[in-house]
């Protein structure tokens, strides 16, 4: 049953939870009779910057962002290829926009564009649809003979990090795959300069450190396809129980503050 919409003041877990509770109280819901409430939204995730501040939900500002809405109409020029590894995935399970992302990644990697690319639609531009925005950033790159350094970074980041992480999630979308996805983000974004890693760290990695909690890492290990990883996971669980057999309460979870703290925890 659809309940309604809320608009949290920020994307923090505390503000989201407070907004939901306030809405339920204001609308007369009896919380003691409520079993589950599920929320799904993009409000606090929209409006992120491409190369400047956003203007409206379906456009960007800045020298790159302002060109994205009509980039598919621009002619393709001689562009420089971008070396990267593209993850294999079955095309039949992909949507039209997802297939476009896969195809244009191959185009950027090869340095040559097929003739039918001009008739393909990269998808509508919207802050809440990062995939179609990535499509347009790459399509715009094909029409620029001398791209800016900022544009080059975006064109490297999409196939080297965004695409692998997205394919990783597409292939394994269960809760137990969470730790693997966090590690994939860390690994695939490591080529970025320090100033950009400071953007990835708080906005992506820190917000997902829940999956690096020891309990969730062990959960991922015991469902791993490899026998020795599953066995190691079970041994770690048994050892932890024996070392702390007197504990009566549940250990509280504390999110990590940085990648370095995450690396320390994993040791």
Q: 22-73 pLDDT, tens per residue?
A: 888 888 887 777 777 777 665 444 444 455 555 545 667 788 888 888 888 8
Q: In this predicted structure, what is the pLDDT of residue 266?
A: 46
Contacts of 62 (CB under 8 A, 6+ apart): 50, 51, 52, 53
Is residue 114 within 8 A of residue 41, CB to CB? The reply is: no
| Three-state secondary structure call for residue 111 | coil
pLDDT at 180 over 70: yes
Q: In this predicted structure, what is the pLDDT of residue 140?
A: 92
Q: In this predicted structure, what is the pLDDT of residue 127?
A: 66
Query: What integer is the mean pLDDT of 92-96?
Result: 83
Q: In this predicted structure, what is the pLDDT of residue 162?
A: 87
Is residue 123 within 8 A of residue 94, CB to CB? The reply is: no
Share in percent of the chain as helix, strand, coil (round to 5): 60, 0, 40
Phi, psi (degrees; rounded to nearest 5) at 194: -55, -40
Cα 100–141–183 angle (5° rounding)? 65
Query: What integer is the mean pLDDT of 86-93?
Result: 80
From residue 267, give the alpha-carbon distance in Å to each of 37, 117, 163, 260. 36, 47, 28, 11
Please name which of 246, 163, 257, 243 lies closest in space to residue 202, comparing C-alpha atoms: 257
From residue 29, give the alpha-carbon distance in Å to each of 35, 130, 142, 169, 193. 12, 35, 53, 35, 49
- pLDDT > 90: percent of the chain: 12
Write down the number of H helices and E strands in the chain: 11, 0
Q: Between these two residues, 210 and 141, which has the higher pLDDT value?
A: 141
Q: What is the pLDDT of residues 201-257, one digit of tens each?
A: 766 777 777 777 788 888 889 988 899 999 999 999 898 888 877 777 776 666 665
Q: What is the pLDDT of residues 153-173, one digit of tens each?
A: 999 999 888 888 888 888 887
Query: What integer is the mean pLDDT of 80-108?
Result: 85
pLDDT at 126 over 80: no
**pTM (2 decimals)?**
0.66
Q: In this predicted structure, what is the pLDDT of residue 46?
A: 44
Is residue 133 within 8 A of residue 126, CB to CB? The reply is: yes
pLDDT at 261 over 70: no
Least confident of 13-17, 33-37, 38-42, 196-200: 38-42
Q: State the DSSP code for 140.
A: H
Separation between Cα atoms, residue 201 and residue 206, nearest integer Å:
6
Q: In this predicted structure, what is the pLDDT of residue 169?
A: 85
Q: In this predicted structure, what is the pLDDT of residue 138?
A: 92
From residue 139, give the alpha-carbon distance in Å to each of 64, 159, 218, 228. 12, 13, 41, 44
Q: In this predicted structure, what is the pLDDT of residue 262?
A: 52
Mean pLDDT of the chain: 79
């Amino acid at each position: 049953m659809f309940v309604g919409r809320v608009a949290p003041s920020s994307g923090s877990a505390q503000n989201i939870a407070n907004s939901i509770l306030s809405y339920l109280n204001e609308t007369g819901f009896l919380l003691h009779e409520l079993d589950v409430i599920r929320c799904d939204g993009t409000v606090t995730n929209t409006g992120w910057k491409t190369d400047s501040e956003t203007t409206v939900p379906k456009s960007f500002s800045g020298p790159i962002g302002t060109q994205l809405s009509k980039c598919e109409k621009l002619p393709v020029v001689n562009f420089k290829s971008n070396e990267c590894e593209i993850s294999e995935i079955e095309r039949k399970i992909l949507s039209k926009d997802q297939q476009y992302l896969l195809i244009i990644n191959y185009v950027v990697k090869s340095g040559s564009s097929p003739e039918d690319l001009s008739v393909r639609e990269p998808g509508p531009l919207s802050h809440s649809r990062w995939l179609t925005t990535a499509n347009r950033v790459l399509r715009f790159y094909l029409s620029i003979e001398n791209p800016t350094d900022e544009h080059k970074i975006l064109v490297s980041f999409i196939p080297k990090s965004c695409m692998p992480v997205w394919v990783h999630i597409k292939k394994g979308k269960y809760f137990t795959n969470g730790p693997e996805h966090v590690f994939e983000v860390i690994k695939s974004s490591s080529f970025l300069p320090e100033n950009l890693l400071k953007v990835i760290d708080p906005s992506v990695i820190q917000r997902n450190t829940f999956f690096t909690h020891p309990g969730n890492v062990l959960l991922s290990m015991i469902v791993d396809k490899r026998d020795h990883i599953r066995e190691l996971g079970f041994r770690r669980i048994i050892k932890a129980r024996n070392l702390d057999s007197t504990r009566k309460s549940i250990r509280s979870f504390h999110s990590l503050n940085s990648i370095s703290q995450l690396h320390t925890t994993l040791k």
